[in-house]
Amino acid sequence: MVICMTFANRLARAPCHQSESLSDLTVRVSVHKIFVLIIVGLGTRDEDENFEHSARHTSPYIQDDDDDEPEGDFGYGTPNKDTDRAYNYNNIGDDIGPGLEDIEDDADLGLEDVEDDADLGLEGDDDGRPDSPQAGQKRPRRDSDPAQPDISKYRKAIKVKNSKGKPKADDWEQEVQDILAEAILRYETRLATLGFFPDHMQEVTWAKAAWLDGCRECGVKIHHNTELIKILTGRGTHLRGVIKTKARALVESTYRFEVSGDDAVEENRKKVERLKDGFGFVYHKLGNGDQPNKGLYENSIIQRVVNQVWFAQRQLSPGIQFTEHFSPFPDPALGATLAAIENSIDEWGSGHKTDIHFTAVAYKPVYEEHLKMLDKFEEHTKEHGILPKILQRLHNNGRIFAKADLLGNQRSRDLPTSAFDAAIREFQNHDGNLSNPEDDD
């Protein structure tokens, strides 16, 4: 194309001789026009090809497809069995989020850079706090940067079978499954402490960091890949489903919604209006007439949802395993809890119970609004420390629910030196022999 352009320019600039006839001049001008048309056509084609190439390689994580989130996670009638624990690893690949299905290769997402973002690890908290990735977050803590791993020492993950549909953990060797179990716990902890509705690039960054945490915890060095990252990022959808399931089951009984009768329908509508007005549902007790609402952020449903999501598995619960991140209870997790409760209340807005999905598109703004209100509340009451006390109580009560000892209340397990001295005397009194277990004295 460059050669054609040069030739056309020279042809156009060639001097016109007096002996040149009108017909010759016409031919020269026509040839110039033809070259110009050829050049324009080639350029347009090149630009079109470049545009198509760029479009084909746009990262799917840039697109926000939350409207298409699977309805199964939030559908009406989602079971709320006792066995439905918040962190069940039996089907850790079954709840993959939207916008992750058309990934072409790891290079588009930077998934090969296993050492990137290692500073988001959850190992060894230093109480430093990062810039908030979402509105209203003030208490999430960031850990000290762990040593950057040597990527050359990481081997590829081995796949042992190919299941149909979404990626599943049991498609992979046992060591990979062990890493996934640890990484899932740490990824969901990031959602609770750093931001509950991350964008797609944040999801990938946190998933990669969680994978590294899992490798360190399991003592193995295995490289992640696209399918493994998809399993991790899909836990965001799963965790939203868990919170919605727990909140929905508690809203009906806590706020006493009725399921039948014309009078009940009208009463339900009025109740929703009262609960939504001025965030009434977060109060321990709604006012009546001149009586104000009482107990801001102290409604029992908040603690009950927190217990069932983050403290339901006793010592295996994330709220117990990662005390440094859940004491006090983190703002993003509380904001997500409040948003899920509000979503479940919204289902009664017509007077009848109607399914409303707890999607990021619909409820991320609600979640962020709750975070802003928490910030305003903390700022206005900071001299009294009311919100920190509420958050600490959520954690402490969660530990009680999980049947774990409260921090600072554990009995001493130290053996004093006097006990060692007594053992020496006893040994000497037995002429250098150990005590006979059969002796009663």
Q: How many C-beta atoms lie closer than 10 Å to residue 348's C-beta?
A: 23
Model confidence at 408, pLDDT cuts 50, 70, 90, reads: low
pLDDT at 409: 55
Distances (CA, A) of 152 to 176, 217, 218: 18, 19, 18
Nearest CA to 139 out of 398, 432, 433, 395 is that of 395
* 0.95 exceeded by pTM: no
pLDDT at 248: 96
E strands along 82-210, which residues? Answer: 125-128, 142-143, 155-156
Model confidence at 24, pLDDT cuts 50, 70, 90, reads: low
Question: Could you tell me which residue, 123 or 291, shows the higher pLDDT?
Answer: 291
Rounded average pLDDT over 321-350: 96
CA dist., res. 243 & res. 237, Å (int): 10
Instruction: Look up residue 201 and give its two tokens.
Output: 């690039």
Nearest CA to 137 out of 366, 339, 368, 362 is that of 368
| Residue spans per domain, the chain | 2-14+22-56, 62-239, 256-401
pLDDT tops 50 at residue 422: yes
Q: Do 301 and 250 form a contact (C-beta atoms < 8 A)?
A: yes
Task: Let me know if 181 is exposed, middle or buried by CB neighbors in 10 A (0-12, 13-18, 19+).
Answer: middle
Lowest-confidence region among 8-12, 141-145, 199-203: 141-145
Using alpha carbons only, what angle is made at residue 323 by residues 281 and 131, rounded to the nearest 5 degrees? 75
Most confident among 20-34, 75-89, 197-211, 393-407 (mean pLDDT): 197-211
Rounded average pLDDT over 369-397: 96
pLDDT at 98: 33
* Residue type at position 248: R
Question: Could you tell me which residue, 385 or 1, shows the higher pLDDT?
Answer: 385
Q: Largest Cα–Cα distance of the chain, in whole Å? A: 137
Give the 3-state secondary structure of residue 434. Answer: coil
**Per-residue model confidence as pLDDT tens digits over 200-224:** 999 999 999 999 999 999 999 999 9
**Per-residue model confidence as pLDDT tens digits over 56-72:** 333 332 233 343 333 33
Give the 3-state secondary structure of residue 125. Answer: strand
DSSP-assigned letters across all residues of 248-287 = HHHHHHHTT---SSHHHHHHHHHHHHHHHGGGGGGSSB--
**Per-residue model confidence as pLDDT tens digits over 267-297:** 999 999 999 999 999 999 998 878 899 999 9
pLDDT at 126: 40
pLDDT at 114: 39
CA dist., res. 70 & res. 72, Å (int): 5
Distances (CA, A) of 127 to 89, 175, 367, 383: 29, 31, 25, 22
Q: Residues with Cβ < 8 Å from 283, sequence gap 6 or more?
A: 293, 294, 295, 296, 297, 298, 299
